[in-house]
Amino acid sequence: MGKIVTTPDAVRSTVERAPQRGPCRRVLMASPAHFTVESAINPWMQDGSGGLNHVDPVRATEQWNALRATYERIAIRVDVIEAPPGLPDFCFAANQSVALPGRVVISRMATEGRRREVPYFEHWYTAHGFAPVHVPDTIERFEGTGDAIIHPGRRLYWGGVGPRTSEAAWEFFAGVADADVIPLKLVDPRFYHLDTCLSLLDERSALYVPAAFDHASRAVIEAAFERLHAVSDADAANFACNAHCPDSRHVLIQQGSRGTTAWLKQAGFVPIELDTSEFMKSGGSVFCLKQELP
């Protein structure tokens, strides 16, 4: 049975004691066939005049295909779920679930439009041998790996507490996953999911946006990682923390985050810059577009 860990001293020992696990070898991506921006459910979805961002569907498909090809090039298997019409955010496959060995925790999305995505993902998982686990009715909202980020090399989760996931979700999730959870309080509406402001690279390295967290959460993050890069405001707005490092070496990251990319190279990582600018119009980038599969 997992437990909730909240203090800097406890976090240090929790990371050291957590059971080891292997690197990511497989991801699920969702087709962008119907991707567009139809309503503003986060601050990134509107342009400077307050109108909805316009998506170029051809360019979005090209960017999605390039991301898929990049995963395959670094030996990550990509499974794909096809998108039904009428669900414009379906392609952000991080949010509808958390995949565990043999099971999958099904999300309770915070917005009505995105709740309609969840049954399609549940059907996919069931057809591929995962037993669905549903969030209890007492938990108001839980948005999958948008807020549940697994620690590299360890069976341990970092959990966002904010507009998309309730604090009460983590006690339930820790029990289901049989893993400890370190909850972090999100305080900036621009960083509505944990995966927009914290990127875990390897067991001791991470990127983060300090202003996205309350004081106690910053202290916990700073205690846990020996190598921690505070991403600049410019790089944070360029979704640098929505990067994905599946193997503790390659970092798939939105192109143009110069300071973050330079730090990654100096730290011994191999950044792979990708263009996800069409998806950024809806508030997501690399990490949002995939679900790690066990």
Domain-embedded: residue 3: no
Q: Reply yes or no on whether 288 is catalytic.
A: yes
Instruction: Assign 187 a pLDDT band (cuts: 50, 70, 90).
Output: very high
Active-site residue, selected from the candidate residues 151, 193, 229, 250: 193
Domain-embedded: residue 1: no
What is the spatial distance between Cα 14 and Cα 193, in angstroms, rounded to a whole number?
A: 23
Domain-embedded: residue 39: yes
Whole-number percent of the chain with pLDDT over 70: 100
Instruction: Assign 1 a pLDDT band (cuts: 50, 70, 90).
Output: confident
What is the spatial distance between Cα 158 and Cα 242, in angstroms, rounded to a whole number?
A: 15
Domain-embedded: residue 260: yes
Please give the average per-residue pLDDT across 171-199, as a whole number.
98
CB 242 within 8 A of CB 288: yes
pLDDT tens digits, 115-155: 999 999 999 999 999 999 999 999 999 999 999 999 999 99
What pLDDT was estimated at residue 48?
A: 86
Angle at 227 between CA 223 and CA 230, to 5 degrees: 85
Q: Reply yes or no on whether 197 is catalytic.
A: no
Domain-embedded: residue 2: no
In the chain, the N- to C-terminal Cα span, in Å, equals 19
* CATH number assigned to the domain comprising residue 45: 3.75.10.10
pLDDT tens digits, 52-74: 999 999 999 999 999 999 999 99
Looking at every residue in the chain, the average pLDDT score rounds to 97
Q: Which domain holds residue 185?
A: 8-292
Number of domains into which the chain is organized: 1
Active-site residue, selected from the candidate residues 24, 197, 241, 288: 288
